[in-house]
A and B are shown apart, each in its own frame.
Chain A
Amino acid sequence: MLAVAAKAEIRVDMPPDSPLFLVSMGAAGSRVSSLGGALVVDVKASVDFRNTSNSRVRGVTLLVAADELTAGGKASVSVPSLNAAPGEVFSIPIDLRLLRPRAGMNVPVRVTLDGVLFDTLAFYGPNKLNSRRTMTAWELEARRDRALFAQALREGRESLRRELVASLARQEAEPRGGVQVMRGRPLVSPSVMQIAALNSGGAPVEILGGEAQTSGNEIGLPRIELRNRSAKPVTHVEVRWIMRDKSGREHAGGALSSPVTLAAGAKATVEDRSTMRFADEAAALTGFVSSVQYEGGAIWIPERAVRYCSPEEQRLTEMYRRRGIDAVIAELDRLK
């Protein structure tokens, strides 16, 4: 199936056996402005899909590419925490900005489906961006966090309110931005920093130790040793970094998302061939396992979010902030 937007330059291609039917592609408008010798094109669009499957859709990821303009560059738009029943229509916004030379005025943007996740955790799609792993982890985190908020609600509205306010406070306390990641850039006369491990009891993979190079406000080439302490083979591990600066403030340093072959009980070393530059001088680096994928596709996530706010926690707390506790209670009830 092929749809061409008349006003915008966005083309949506859907596989013929897709569980989502493209209802319409509405371009709210595009704006062209000049920047030096280049053109800046802003496109605002919204794609409407109908769920033609027999299951509820929990998440969708669309792959967005402007190949003639950005050879090698790819982007995606994901909508987690959906609850689209069979036959229901839902929208996904696509807001783009293209920067291109004046020559070659027409550069089409191609939108394709990368994955659909259902409430059964079944997945459909080409999965070019590993959407299956990502969306499954989001869905599991969403279920975990809704269960935690529902547990607080059973103790009373005030208990739920305290949980929501505490989460908002944690989110506000996180330093925003300030991290620059550079691939393959060696540090000049670095020293070695040991990486601390924050292992949770139930994690199937533990961090045995590791080290990184450091120089001033930069930390480079972190390398960690992992051990699979579960009975199942592991194919992918995601490790998140926390950098503590000289004044004791903690900064989220991104994640090491690495495919790995770890048989039951086996050890392996993974390395991030990049350098992180922070605003302040680094004093310590800590790593923790935030998700594990087993052979066969099953995903493990921590029982409780540690130093990391899931998309669903962020969504529900934002809903509380804007619309109050009754809206959150209704949402928890709707997504039981």
Chain B
Amino acid sequence: MKHLDERQMASLAGGEAGWLSRWHASRCAECAAGVAKFRAVREVTKSLGSELPAGLDWESLSREMRANILVGVEAAGCVAPRVEDSPSIGWRPAVAFASVVAVVLTGWYLSAPKLVAPPFASVAAADAVVEATPAGLEWKRDGRGFAMLNPRANRVSYSVSAQGAEARAVDYSGQMTITHVVLD
């Protein structure tokens, strides 16, 4: 085991060290000598402290100590970093809650089943309808239907007549495809 340092020796001299330090000092002459020196100093200090100076003015000593404390506090206020008032955390939960709601609503909107966007042209008969939508031409009746979907194209042009609807699209290969849905 290493020898005791000065702090451990001082603690052992004051009876505050742990059992390991005590065990070491009982077997190490060098450390035991060091502990003995700390004990001697301790005894001297104790004997000096037991006699107060003559004519000690306790009131004056008290005022001096209080003044020193106040000066210390003022000085600490000058050099210490300014501590800002901690901001109110009232808006943070609101922002967090709004963010969560926005995420949930966005997810719901994106995952909600949608056949196509609203039509911008249509042909309707008594029991069936053909609609031109951004996705293509849809024929619908009584909850059934089919749609001719547009190919991938930048621009699709539509026309409608009493017979049905037509969509023209030029795909990325340059081929024109014309779909027609007839309302019979």
A interface list, Cβ under 8 A from B = 33-38, 40, 42, 44, 64, 66, 69-70, 72-81, 92-93, 95-101, 109, 129, 171, 176-184, 252, 254-257, 272-274, 309, 311-312, 314-315, 318-319, 321-323, 327, 331
Contact = CB atoms under 8 A, between A and B. Distances in A.
A180 B121 contact: yes
Given A96-B146, A180-B123, 19 more contacts: A37-B143, A38-B143, A40-B113, A70-B139, A74-B181, A74-B182, A75-B179, A76-B180, A78-B180, A95-B149, A97-B135, A98-B147, A99-B144, A99-B146, A171-B157, A254-B161, A254-B162, A256-B162, A327-B174
Tell me the interface secondary structure of chain A in the complex. strand
Contact of B154 (A42, A79, A322): A322
Contacts of A254: 159-162
B176 A314 contact: yes
- State which size class the interface on B falls in: 35 or more
A73 B141 contact: yes
Nearest to A100: B144
B160 A181 contact: yes
21 contacts: A38-B143, A44-B149, A70-B146, A72-B128, A75-B180, A77-B148, A77-B177, A77-B178, A79-B177, A79-B178, A97-B115, A97-B146, A98-B145, A99-B147, A176-B157, A177-B132, A181-B123, A183-B124, A273-B162, A311-B176, A312-B176
Contacts of B137: 75
Closest 5 CB pairs of A and B: A177-B120, A95-B149, A97-B147, A274-B162, A254-B161
B112 to A, nearest CB: 10
Contacts of B161: 181, 254-257
Contacts of B128: 72-73
Contacts, number: 172
B182 A73 contact: yes
Contacts of B132: 177
Given A179-B121, A255-B161, A42 B149 contact: yes
B162 A311 contact: no
Interface string B139-178: 1110111111111001101111111000010111011111
A98 B155 contact: no
A170 to B, nearest CB: 12
B179 to A, nearest CB: 6
Interface of B: 113, 115, 119-126, 128, 132, 135-141, 143-151, 154-155, 157-163, 168, 170-172, 174-184
B60 to A, nearest CB: 93
Contacts of A44: 149
Given A78-B177, A78-B180, A177 B149 contact: no
Contacts of B149: 42, 44, 95-97
Q: Name, among A34, A73, A183, A323, the residue most crowded by chain B CB atoms within 10 Å (CB to CB).
A: A73
Q: Name, among B125, B146, B147, B160, the residue most crowded by chain A CB atoms within 10 Å (CB to CB).
A: B146
Contacts of A319: 170, 174
A254 B145 CA distance: 23
Nearest to A98: B146
Contacts of A36: 113
